[in-house]
Amino acid sequence: MTPDAAGHAGPILEFREVSKTFRTQRGAVRALSNISLSVRDGEFLTIVGPSGCGKSTLLNLLVGLERPSGGTILLEGQQEIDRMKIGYVMQDDNLYPWRTLQQNVEFPLELRGVAPARRAEIAREYLRRVQLTGFENRYPYELSGGMRQRGNIVRALSYSPRVIIMDEPFGPLDAQTRLLLQQQLLDIWSQERRTVIFITHDLHEAIGLGDRVLVLSRRPGSVKAVHEVAIERPRDLHRIHEHPEFRRLLSVLGAQLEEEIMGARASEVVPS
């Protein structure tokens, strides 16, 4: 395997038998159990699983919001992870209300000491690519939810992180806006080939966007299955449902998730 742009040969990201247990007043809660996974450089990995299976916990471990109870996470082969190499897009946009849209996109570049003229140029280019030219000087309250989320996404892209993680970024949006943003994200990803880890509850979204789909089991979350998405790129998300591989994977993923959901419900039943 040849080294990537950062000089690292091998997977850009590895989870090695990662577990997480939370200590609560009611006792220990195991959220994740022995997660082992390698993520390829430039890969678009989508993650699905039943509610409460630890999807968001997995991402929080990566960005340092939580610490694993066991196992190891490696970024570019290093256990000491440089969090500046990771971009994080959450479900709710978190644009700063006192900054304009362009100033929000420029903010991570400002933190990294990029010259004002250069960061303005970068911000304008990313806003153009998501069709927000003309809205640079608007404040978040003046924008629709979809526009704010586009700004949120390109803010994470603007400083070229090695890995971008997205926790259901399109969840609150209407179906039409969601499809538009999915396609825009794919178009940018196809040009830049950043490594993306994307959590979703939507199986159509998981298949349409992903190179692979990771299925997590019910809590404590573990790797139930990993599926390659054998659908050529570039993809037209408006018509991808017509592809036989899409229909096959949708059936397989649906059955696997149903099995985990039913298993979780059965385990919650208390005998009388």
Would you say residue 1 lies in a domain? no
pLDDT one-digit tens code per residue, 89-148:
988 888 999 999 999 999 999 999 999 999 999 999 999 999 999 999 999 999 999 999
For range 162-183, the mean pLDDT? 91
pLDDT band at 271; cut points 50, 70, 90:
low
Q: How confident is the model at residue 27 (pLDDT cuts 50, 70, 90)?
A: confident
What's the pLDDT score for residue 7? Answer: 52
Q: Is residue 204 part of a domain?
A: yes
Mean pLDDT across the chain, nearest whole number?
A: 91
Query: Could you give the number of structural domains in the chain?
Result: 1
Domain contains 8: no
Residue 100 placed within a domain: yes
CATH number, domain of 235, equals 3.40.50.300
Tell me, yes or no, whether 2 lies in a domain. Answer: no
Whether residue 79 is contained in a domain is answered as yes
Q: What are phi and psi of 39, to 5 degrees?
A: -115, 130
Containing structural domain, residue 202 = 13-266
Q: Is residue 7 part of a domain?
A: no
Domain assignment present for 39: yes
For the residues 1-23, what does the mean pLDDT come to? 77
